[in-house]
Structure 1
Amino acid sequence: MNDRNALKQGVIQKIFSSILKSIKSIGYGIYRSLVRFVLGVKKRFVRFGKRFMDASAVTKVSHFVMGFGQLARKQFVKGFIYLFIQLGFFFILFTSPTVNGTPIGLDALRNFITLGTVEGDVFTPTDNSMLMMLFGVVTLGLIGMFIAGYLSNINSSYHNDLLIRDGKKVLSFKEDLAELLDSRFHMTMLTPAILGIVVFTILPTVFMILIAFTNFDAQHPAGQVLFDWVGFENFKNVFSGQGEVSVRFIPVLSWTLVWAFFATFSNYIAGILLALLINKKTIKLKKLWRTVFILTIAIPQFLSLLAVRSILSEYGPVNNLLMTVGLIDNPISFLGTATNPMTARASVLFINLWVGIPYTMLMTSGILMNIPTDLYEAAQIDGATKRQAFISITIPYIVFVTTPYLITSFVGNITSFNIIFLLTGGGPAVGGGYKAGSTDLLVTWLYKLTIDENEYNMGSVIGIFTFLITATGTLLSYRKSKAYKEEEAFQ
């Protein structure tokens, strides 16, 4: 017993030591990133000041009137575009136009701090705290995009200064367009993509994160009751509160990690074995077998999952067959209404094999067909057996190439929504009236908290934790993998 306890303690110490090292590594990485950021900002300000002193008079004016440097050099189209950007930005910023009674601009920044002050009554509408937060984030985004346009205006005017000093001609509008389609084509393609990322990804993500620092929940519906900033209170409640989130967070997180591990590696190993089997020289009709398994990819996943749920239901063909054969007397519930949570968990893991194996099989088949034959020939000359060549060449090559896929697959399984939601709905239910069931993952629980319970603040907290887990796991595992350290090993 003492030896077992010592072994357990040693394992636990190693786990905590590994976690502490990871946290230390992440903290040091964040610290270095902040130092580089501060130094980078400092260098940019120094360079900005030097460039201002070195610039011509028209470029110095462009620091205050956007487009002036271009207009002074007869680049009318570009100059009016920059001027229009400045005038439009100042119009929105200082006039603060309203949408649904909530302003955008300077007033939005003030409201962003208070999240509303008018509680409202029968005759006066309540301030919409959600819109005030949203428009505050939008205004900050507009400021950021304006700064980018402002710097572009100065860079363009200063570039003209340098051309004139070198005795060269300032480019016309047509020449600028030709350059954007030739030497600067990357700018033409990247600018819309970056704007799309800012508008549709970064700003909504910032808005979602900020909700975690408020008390926006079912007791504070937007437009009816004001909600406020509460700092890190929601994060404290996850570990020290009395509600569902504090009680069910660790169990749901644990099952999420267990699900992600088994769902990832079962599909990965089974897919590799299937590809190796199909690619054996003695197997005939290889294309037919690949096609059969690819059919599961061709059929929309949600249709496959709904069909499997019907097949495994209490009155489905599987139960009817078992009862007809005489193996069972009463129907067995395999999924959301199972009496034993382990039955539902094992069922979804087994069904996930049907969904995930074909992807790994396809990828591995392509890898096997592209392994250089020179490696096998060299191994044969050195006297290696087929088994040794398989262990020393085939497996390392497959693992090396598929490591990024393995990592992304693990992250994808952490945030897997369709399989759990469509098969079990998170069930079987857990005693105590909790919304999070036995098979709920963090992402399906988040859905229930926000859509069903309107607990947007706690849903946002869970979303942040999910992101931290996936991002940290992805970065650490990839940086420690051979695919990262030995990138050119198989090239």
Structure 2
Amino acid sequence: MTDPKVQDPKKARLLSIIPGLGQFYNQQILKGIIFLIGFIGFAIEFIVFGFQAIHDLITLGSQPVVDNSLFMMIEGTLQILVLVFAVILYIANIYDAGNIANQINLGKPASKTFMEMIKNIGDGGFPYLFSIPAYFLMLFIIVFPVLVTLFIAFSNYDFLHVPPAHLLHWVGFKNFTSLFFLSSYRKTFNAVFGWTIIWTLLATTLQLFIGIFTAVVANQDFIKFKRFFGVIFLLPWAIPAFISIMSFSNIFNDSAGAINVQVIPFFNKILPFLHMPLPSWKTDPNWTKVAIIMIQGWLGFPYIYVMVTGILQAIPNDLYEAATLDGATAIQKFSHITAPTIFTVAAPIFITQYTGNFNNFSMIYLFNDGGPGDVGGGAGGTDILISWIYKLTTGQSPQYSIAAAVTLLISVIVIGVSLIVFKRTGAFDLGDD
């Protein structure tokens, strides 16, 4: 009795340097043909289109009007993604050849016909069958725009260099150094970035505080008409945010708004010792900042209220009863039972509230268009980074490359802070399998 043929995994991988040959060695003729045709197709595409696209990405053209640097940048970026996808398939081809050789040596038959391949995918590769298209779409829908933004940030794309009338050029880290060292941009960036941090911390903390406070109070046993209060608390969430913001923009009008015309005079009448002044909500940057922080607290708390209410209802009453028997006060119950449970469950959501307000364009733009005042560089007194980017790209003298650089900085900050907090809180720690 002769021994079954032993496949050499190393030989299979070496043959797969030319895609498909390793599969031929494993007698998977159909799979080998698929890999070989894919390799030949990519080679033809790269020779006909790809090489020129990469060359154009590097040079960004040589003749104004004739060459469109922006299109060259986009086409080159697409070619890079195609190249990355081809490299992944090439590596998969080598891995597959060696893996199948090992399986044959273990007595597992290799799929040779089309139906056997389909059956094998259905049995062992079903998750990959559904995840690969998602990753493929993510590559071109998410990664592609990010790469284009990255490339623009390293170019001189501004109102003086608009393709195709003018060619773009690579300027390296000049746009980033301008933000930190060029006096005009440095002053603006520091002012806008500082206010963005203050706005994010105060506005988000306020909406978290109101949401948690209302949920905890409404969840107490002695509170009556809980459903009624629940509906009232949800009203800010039910009304579209842009309508609420536009309404508040009118309510806080300095001369004709309800706050200055009716609310404050009413309190001054019934409480004359207060003598509350009439703030310049829309013309004083400091009062505008106060207004939008308060408004965001009102708009954002219902979501926190709903989420925390669900968490509170899941806390066993036995914990509170045991704490009562031990003589714990209401504050001690909250600090040792309620608060830890809320923050343990909802920490990732709370972080997303901070990152969301960090890029809350609607509130800043709709309330007062980032004004009043001017801190330089086209930014108003209440502009945050995201609204400043909008003005950099839509103003009379657009600065696309600077806007792209700021966009990348925002991404780094948001992603970095989120990863650090998520890791420290164990938000995505699913445990060992």
TMscore range, shorter length: 0.7 to 0.9
CA distance in 2, matches of 1:303, 1:424: 14
2:344 matched to 1:344? Answer: no
Partner of 2:300: 356
Superposed CA deviations along residues 252-271 of structure 1, whole A, max 9, x for unmatched, are: 01100000000111011111
Give yes or no for contact 1:311–1:318 (8 Å, CA) kept in 2: yes
1:193 is displaced (CA, Å) by 1.4
Structure 1 pair 145–112 and aligned structure 2 pair: CA distance change class (3 A) = same
Cα offset, 1:310, TM superposition: 3.4
State the distance in 2 between where 1:431 and 1:379 align: 54
Structure 1 residue 485: Cα displacement: 11
Matches of 2:334 and 2:125, distance apart in 1: 48
Aligned to 1:307: 247
TM-score, reference length from structure 2: 0.86
Structure-2 separation of matches of 1:484 and 1:65: 42
> What code does the residue aligned with 1:263 have?
A
Partner residue, 1:408: 352
CA contact under 8 A between 1:234 and 1:461: conserved in structure 2?
Answer: yes
Is the counterpart of residue 84 in structure 1 residue 37 in structure 2?
yes
Q: Which residue identity lines up with residue 445 of structure 1 in the other structure?
A: W
| 2:124 equivalent among 174, 180, 183 | 183
Match of 2:164 in 1: 223
Residue 456 of structure 1: aligned partner: 400
Deviations 1:350-380, CA, capped at 9 Å, x for gaps: 1112210001111111111111334334434
C-alpha displacement of 1:289:
1.8
Q: In 2 relative to 1, CA 310–442 (structure 1 residues): closer, same or farther, beyond 3 Å? A: same
In 2 relative to 1, CA 322–374 (structure 1 residues): closer, same or farther, beyond 3 Å?
closer
2:20 to 37, 56, 66: 66
Selected match of 2:100 from 142, 146, 160: 160
Q: Could you tell me how far apart the structure 1 residues matched to 2:202 and 2:267 are?
A: 32
Give the 3 Å change call, closer, same or farther, for CA 174–466 of structure 1 in structure 2: same
Q: Hey, what does 1:110 align to over in structure 2?
A: 55
Q: Do the aligned partners of 1:61 and 1:68 also contact (CA within 8 Å) in 2? A: yes
Q: TM-score, with normalisation over the residues of structure 1?
A: 0.77
Q: CA deviation at 1:177?
A: 2.7
Q: Are residues 176 and 310 of structure 1, via their aligned partners in 2, closer, same or farther at CA, if it must alter by over 3 Å?
A: farther
CA contact (8 A) 2:42 2:86 kept: yes
Distance 1:69 1:211 in 2: 42
- CA displacement, residues 401-435 of structure 1 (integer Å, 9 cap, x when unaligned): 22222222111111111111111110103176x41
Aligned CA distance change for structure 1 residues 106 and 484 (closer, same or farther; 3 Å): same
Cα distance in 2 for residues equivalent to 1:309 and 1:385: 43
Q: Does 1:141 align with 2:97?
A: no
The equivalent residue for 1:443 is 386
Q: Distance in 1 between matches of 2:240 and 2:345?
A: 27
Matching residue within 371, 379, 382 for 2:323: 379
**Corresponding letter in the other structure for 1:273:** F
Tell whether the 8 Å contact from 1:275 to 1:362 is kept in structure 2 after alignment. Answer: yes
Q: 1:334 to 1:477 in 2, by over 3 A?
A: farther
Helix, strand or coil at the partner of 2:214: helix
Paired with 1:323 and 1:370, the residues of 2 have a C-alpha distance of 42
The alpha-carbon distance between structure 1 residues 298 and 176, as it changes in their structure 2 partners (threshold 3 A), is: farther
Q: 2:138 maps to what in 1? A: 197
Classify the secondary structure of the residue corresponding to 2:234. helix
- The structure 1 residue matched to 2:410, chosen from 462, 466, 475, is 466
1:271·1:360 contact (CA, 8 Å) conserved in 2? yes
Post-superposition offset of 1:153: 2.2
RMSD: 3.0
Distance 2:169 2:428 in 1: 47
Q: Following superposition of structure 1 onto structure 2, how do residues 10-49 of structure 1 map, counting pairs within 5 Å?
A: none
Indicate yes or no: 2:368 matched with 1:424.
yes
How much does 1:324 deviate? 8.9
* CA pair 272-70 structure 1, distance change in 2 beyond 3 A: farther
- 8 Å contact kept, 2:9–2:97: no
Instruction: Say whether residues 1:395 and 2:343 are aligned partners.
Output: no
Match of 1:260 among 189, 192, 200: 200
Output the CA distance in 2 between the equivalents of 1:268 and 1:176.
53
Task: Look up the equivalent residue of 2:394 and give its one-letter code.
Answer: I
Specify every segment of 5 or more residues in structure 2 that has no aligned partner in the other structure, as ranges: 1-6, 270-277
Deviation at 1:309, TM superposition (A): 2.3
Deviations 1:23-78 (A, max 9, x none): xxxxxxxxxxxxxxxxxxxxxxxxxxxx997234xx644321437725973552x4
SS in 2 for 1:55: helix
- 5+ residue gaps, structure 1, are 1-50, 97-104, 120-124
Contact between 1:133 and 1:207, CA under 8 Å: does it hold in 2? yes
Match of 1:39 in 2: none
- Which deviates more, 344-353 or 376-385? 376-385
User: Which secondary structure does the structure 1 equivalent of 2:408 belong to?
Assistant: helix
Cα 1:333/1:128, change in 2 over 3 Å: farther
Higher relative contact order (CA 8 A, sep 6+): 2
Q: Percent identity?
A: 30
- Structure 1: distance between partners of 2:366 and 2:322: 51
Q: Distance in 2 between matches of 1:250 and 1:431?
A: 10
| 1:179–1:254 Cα change, 3 Å | same
Partners in 1 of 2:413 and 2:178 — Cα distance? 19
Deviation at 1:341, TM superposition (A): 0.7
Work out the number of aligned pairs and report it: 415
Q: Quote how far apart the aligned CAs of 1:131 are.
A: 1.7
Establish whether residue 208 from structure 1 lines up as the match of residue 162 from structure 2: no
| Per-residue CA distance 1:137-172 (angstroms, 9 max, x = gap) | 211111110011112223333333233333432224
After TM superposition, list the pairs within 5 Å mapping 1:321-336 onto structure 2. Answer: 321=262
| 1:151 equivalenced with 2:91 (yes/no) | yes
TM-aligned CA deviation for residue 217 of structure 1? 0.8
Tell whether 2:243 aligns with 1:289.
no
Closer, same or farther: CA 75–309 of 1 in aligned 2, 3 Å: farther
Matched residue type, 1:247 = K
Q: In the alignment, which of 2, 5, 10 is matched to residue 54 of structure 1?
A: 10
